[in-house]
Chain A
Amino acid sequence: MTHANPTDNRLPSILTAATPRRVITFVAFVLIALLLLPIVLSAFWMKIMFEMAAYSLVTLGLGLLVGRTGIYSLCQVPMMAAGAWIALRVHYLVDLPFPLLLLISGLLTGLLGIVIGLPAMRLSGLYLALVTLMAAGAITLLLTVVKFPNGGDGFWGFDKLNSSGQNILPRPSSATSDIAFYRYTVVVAAIGFLVAAIHITGKPGRAWASIRQSEVTAVSAGVNTTLYKLWAFALSAAVTGVAGGLIVAGTGVTTNQFPVEQSITLLAVVLLGGVYNLWGAVLAAFFLRVFPQILDKKLGLPVEVLTMLFGVGVISTLAMQPKGVVEDLTNLGRFVGSKFARSERAEHEGVAT
């Protein structure tokens, strides 16, 4: 994972970026998630961890857009809903193996992402963010009208005599239990993060970085800005669509689950977690799905407190620590690390995990 400090002028590749420290951190994290958590956590917390794993792809998608290209999208939650919708619709159309279904869901949501991103060819900054907000509003309203497919006929596939409010996909036969599907989700999420890392450290990442710093310079340097902006939208939407597919099989979805406010909250947690570091996406998913449970189940605080905390978090992040909480944690980690391993100190400097 790279550290995209705007002043960082090195041009990394996936090979040079994959330092032993990063590889070890990543592998250790995935192994802990796969093996240790199911042993130490109760069935309840494992359900919460599943949500975090699935939502980490959603926050990854938005983090990529915001952190890499500087595009603020307020249409990420509708993208997740679209991923779930597509997975359900395809499932009722043809019987496909689950991984293929996820892939199709990701690809089609990626296409939708390109459509949403088309205005980015001519708009940027605030105007583009507001176009995505308007698109989110329109898609959300459309979804409440057409609803998720439940096996009905026609393009929308909705049977109104089917009374169930939950739309759920069968899980893959290899992962029917909660724990097994959680592991499945962790593996898919890990692949998603690796794909993102490959992009960031490769040619697209360099193009995005130059677009973020100055679009004019990027054009003069021969970067095809249109292509790479749309690519960012597509990648962001695709991982989010995959997350939608995972969620619809893991717990199911319901029509009114995705209000526009959620896209705003999502942007808040992503900014709060940190957008210049892929671990920030993991942290954002933690804020979004685990933190509320801790607040409610462990501390007994009302849910409204969370909304206020996110608001405070966004303002302070934007004003004081644009790199998000992950940067504070990294600094803390460096500080602790330097205490224990002075010899490795030199390697730590200037290279975030």
Chain B
Amino acid sequence: MRSRETSSASIIRRSVIGLAVLSLVAAACGGDDDDSGTPAVTDAPTATDAPDTTDAPDTTDAPDTTDAPDTTDAPGEMTGMIVQPGVCGLGNGEAATGTPIKLGGAATNIPGVDFTWIPKMAKIYFDCVNENGGIYGHPIEYSYEDGAPDPAVWSAIATKLVETDKVLAIVGNTSLLECDVNGQYYADHGYHPIIAGVAPGCFLSDQWSAVNMGPYYSNLGGAQAALRAGATGKLVVASPDQPGMDFNNTSVQDIAIQEGLDFEGILETVPIADPAGFAQRLVQAAGEGGGVVLNFTGPTVLPLLQAISEQGLVDSVIWASSTPPNDPSVSAALKDCCGTDWDGKFLINAEFNVLDSGLPDNNKMIELHDAAGADFPISAFSQFGYVIGKWTTEALLRMGEGADYTVETVNQAIFDLKDAESDMICKPWYYTNGSSANVSNNTDRTVTPQDGNMVQVEDCFEIEAIAKDDAKGINGNPLEEIRSNEG
């Protein structure tokens, strides 16, 4: 008979960070932003590229904690950017009063999936830009729509933005579906949206460009972390039973074949009707020494993690994940339900820096968010919104003073955007570099829950470029081409 103590301290400070990531969007984040405890930050490897850390996940002890990530890779001296780190636009403190520049966005918002935090944070940033000189005196007038995952709804939203509101650019769109619906429409009307991408289609063309990398690459990043943590058996990836997810699972299949490992892709209806049974199935599928990459949203994966912990399966295989659960409220909930079971044991792929990095853009985001009294939490989503706002502002400012703002000129400026920097990402971002696919964010970190926070266990590493190999059944990804074009 084994009985464990009740997790008594259920009273947590969820009021600030209660909301959670619900998406399939890749994300990154860090510890809590409130005063509940000193955020624990691991001694992230100091190397810049593909680290070989394997220590954290397989030890039961907490990873060593040190100060914030070392600053060797911190963008201390950003060059070429008009918008300086941690500054809104021109940062001159003068309110913009000229003719406004109208921008619009849209995000999925249904019970269970709320992506509006991204346009909401972008709007907060634009408001700050307007207080700081605007675009050479022109304020940005930004609004956003929301909708359910129904093609009819998304088709109507694009029409409203373009033909009714007559916005000059589409900014901050985050949708389960839009990239599969509105490509031709935006092409016909000359728009190049800057978005956060979910569907695979968001990363296949330069009609739009996402600041994140989406589940296909994030799954791969999770699998890489699992391999480095010592997964030597079968690789299993489990995704929700939704369109495009079969495709997203193949990124893990590719690396499994390349490494000579067995593979199984599982699609599961969500919410998972019997998390305990599903946990058993995953462990039986992966077997001894196997690795499991979970590709579910926070609300879906939490009960599963809870069930895994309750059945004592945490150490049976190596658990990894795509980005969505990388959210402080998930780590807080894990501490609630499962104590320290998951500390260092759940390797989450993360595209953005931890939230408590202490770097200028991150701090500015938290400052703006608090000042605006926003009704959504600080999370990876707010980071998406912040950089979308920042880089759109940069593109507009690069048009120069006295520019003529039309749909054509503004979208050209956005399309031409290169060397966009922020301390939230591993390397500069660009709209497109003319490759056959468009994944300009392709370098990630790995984070893990630790004592109620999300902490970094691996610093920036490259998502594996895998070449197509029909003989072996590898579909391959275009990262090698993209990186060679990056130069």
State yes or no: do A and B touch (Cβ within 8 Å): yes
- Measured CA separation A250–B145 after assembly (Å): 21
- B133-187 contacts to A, CB under 8 A, are 145-146, 148-152, 155-156, 159-160, 163-164, 176-177, 180-181
Q: Taking the complex as formed, is A163 at the interface, i.e. its CB lies under 8 A from any CB of chain B?
A: yes
Determine if B315 is an interface residue (Cβ-Cβ < 8 Å): no
B109 at the interface (CB under 8 A from A): yes
A48, A161, A250, A257: the one contacting B247 at CB < 8 Å is: A161
In the assembled complex, B243 has its CB within 8 A of some CB on chain A:
yes
Q: Considering the chains assembled together, what is the distance between the CA atoms of A51 and B160 in angstroms?
A: 15
- Known pairs A163-B201, A164-B180, A166-B177; A44 contacts B151 (CB<8 A): no
Given contact pairs A141-B269, A254-B243, A43 touches B159 in the complex (Cβ within 8 A): yes
Report the separation of the CA atoms of residues A273 and B269 in the bound assembly, to the nearest whole angstrom.
33
The residue that B243 contacts in the complex, of A47, A141, A251, A256, with Cβ under 8 A, is A256
Q: Does B250 contact A (CB under 8 A)?
A: yes
Bound CA span A281–B277, Å: 44
Find the B residue at minimum CB distance from A168: B151
Query: Contact at B151–A163, with CB atoms within 8 Å?
Result: no
Q: How far is the CB of A147 from chain B (nearest CB, A)?
A: 6
Chain A CB within 8 A of B246 CB: yes
- CB pair A44–B164 under 8 Å, yes or no, is yes
Closest to B202 in A: A163
What residues on A are CB-neighbors of B475 within 8 Å? 161
Q: Which of A68-114 contact B (CB under 8 A)?
A: none
Identify which of B163, B181, B242 contacts A44 (C-beta below 8 A). B163
Q: Are B247 and A47 closer than 8 Å at their CB atoms?
A: no
**Is B200 in contact with chain A by the CB < 8 A criterion?**
yes
> Contact string, B294-336, partner A, CB cutoff 8 A, digits 1/0?
0000000000000000000000000000000000000000000
Q: For the complex formed, measure the closest distance between the CB of A162 and the CB atoms of chain B, giving whole angstroms.
A: 7
Question: DSSP class of B's interface residues: helix, strand, loop or mixed?
Answer: mixed
Q: Please indicate the chain A residues that have their CB under 8 angstroms from the CB of B248 in the complex.
A: 163
B348 contacts chain A at the CB level, 8 A cutoff:
no
Contact B269 A251 (CB under 8 A): no
Q: Could you tell me how many residues of chain B have their Cβ less than 8 Å away from some Cβ of chain A? A: 35
Complex Cα gap A174–B343 (Å) = 62
Establish whether residues A163 and B159, one from each chain, have CB atoms under 8 Å apart when the complex forms: no
| A314 → B minimal CB distance (Å) | 19
On whether the beta carbons of A250 and B164 are closer than 8 Å, the reply is no
Contact partner of B177 (CB less than 8 A), chosen from A51, A147, A163, A165, is A165
Q: How many chain A residues have a CB neighbour from B under 8 Å?
A: 33
Residue interface bits A22-51, CB-to-B below 8 A is 1, else 0: 000000000000000000001110011011
**Alpha-carbon distance between A90 and B241 when the two chains are bound, in angstroms:** 24
Smallest Cβ-Cβ distance to A247: which chain B residue: B152
In-complex Cβ contact of B200 among A47, A163, A250, A257 (8 A): A163
* B478 on interface, CB distance cutoff 8 Å: no
| In the complex, B100 has a CB within 8 A of chain A | no
Q: Contact between A165 and B163 (Cβ–Cβ < 8 Å)? A: no
B190 at the interface (CB under 8 A from A): no
Asked if B91 CB lies within 8 Å of chain A CBs, one says: no
Evaluate whether A254 and B150 lie within 8 angstroms (CB atoms) in the complex, with A144-B241, A163-B200 already known.
Answer: yes
Tell me which residues across on chain A come within 8 A of B152, comparing CB atoms. 47, 50-51, 247, 250-252
Docked CA distance A304–B112 (Å): 12
Docked complex Cα distance between A297 and B148 (Å):
14
- B244 touches which one: A47, A164, A251, A293 (CB < 8 A)? A164
A58 to B43, CA, bound (A): 59
A342 CB within 8 Å of chain B: no
A257 touches B244 (CB 8 A): no
CB atoms of A257 and B199 under 8 A apart? no
Which residues from A are CB-within-8-Å of B163?
Answer: 42-44
B164, A43: Cβ atoms under 8 Å? Answer: yes
Asked if B111 is at the interface (CB within 8 A of a chain A CB), the reply is yes
Within 8 A of B (CB), among A106-145: 141, 144-145
Near A by CB (< 8 A), chain B positions 95-149 give 109-111, 145-146, 148-149
From B198, which residue of chain A is reached at the shortest CB distance?
Answer: A165
User: Which residues of B have CB within 8 Å of A145?
Assistant: 241, 267, 269
Q: Contact at B111–A44, with CB atoms within 8 Å?
A: no
List 8 additional contacts besides A161-B246, A164-B199; criterion CB under 8 Å: A44-B164, A144-B241, A163-B248, A165-B180, A165-B244, A251-B150, A252-B152, A303-B148
23 contacts between A and B (CB under 8 A): A44-B164, A50-B152, A51-B156, A145-B267, A145-B269, A163-B201, A163-B248, A164-B180, A164-B199, A164-B200, A165-B242, A165-B244, A247-B152, A251-B150, A252-B152, A253-B151, A254-B149, A254-B180, A254-B243, A256-B242, A257-B150, A257-B151, A304-B111
